[in-house]
Amino acid sequence: MYYKFTNLVKVFLLSFLIALEAFASGGKRNGTAGAQELLIPVGARGMAFNGGYISGITGIDAIYYNPAGLGTLTGAQAMFSYMNYIADIGISYAAVGAGFGGFGSLAFSVKSIDFGDIPVTTTENPYGTGATFSPTFVTLGLTYANMISDRIKVGFTANLVTEKIVRTSATGFSFDAGVQYENLANIEGLKIGVVLKNFGPQLTFDGPDLLRTADAQNSLRGEQFYKIQSAGFELPSQLELGIAYEKHFSDDYSALIATTFQNNNFANDEYIVAGEFSFKDLLFLRGGYNYEPDASITEEQIFGATYGVGLKFNAGVDITVDYAYRTAHLFDANQMVSIKLQF
Look at residue 2 in the predicted model and tell me its pLDDT: 46
Domain that holds residue 267: 2-342
Residues whose CB is less than 8 angstroms from the CB of residue 330 and which lie 6 or more positions away in sequence, other chains included: 298, 302
The burial of 219, by beta-carbon neighbours within 10 Å (0-12 exposed, 13-18 middle, 19 or more buried), is given as exposed
pLDDT tens digits for the chain (343 residues)? 445 545 555 555 555 555 555 554 455 566 677 889 999 999 999 999 999 999 999 999 999 999 999 999 989 999 999 999 998 899 999 999 999 988 999 999 999 999 998 898 888 888 888 889 999 999 999 999 999 888 999 999 999 999 999 989 999 999 999 999 999 888 999 999 999 999 999 999 998 888 887 766 656 666 777 788 888 889 999 999 999 999 999 889 999 999 999 988 888 889 999 999 999 989 999 999 998 887 655 566 789 999 999 999 988 899 999 999 999 988 899 999 999 999 8
Distances (CA, A) of 339 to 80, 81, 110, 285, 303: 5, 6, 15, 16, 24
- Percent helix, percent strand, percent coil in the chain, to nearest 5: 15, 50, 35
Q: Are strands 211-215 and 223-227 parallel, antiparallel or unpaired?
A: antiparallel
Amino acid at 203: L
- Domain containing residue 86: CATH number: 2.40.160.40
**Rounded-to-integer distance, Cα 24 and Cα 194, Å:** 18
150, containing H or E segment: none
- Between CA 242 and CA 63, with CA 203 as vertex, the angle to 5 degrees is 30
- Between CA 186 and CA 196, with CA 192 as vertex, the angle to 5 degrees is 150
Give the number of domains in the chain.
1
**Rounded-to-integer distance, Cα 200 and Cα 216, Å:** 41
Distances (CA, A) of 166 to 21, 79, 134, 135, 205: 39, 30, 7, 7, 12
**Radius of gyration for the alpha carbons in the chain, expressed in angstroms and rounded:** 22
**Rounded-to-integer distance, Cα 170 and Cα 135, Å:** 12
**Rounded-to-integer distance, Cα 196 and Cα 238, Å:** 6
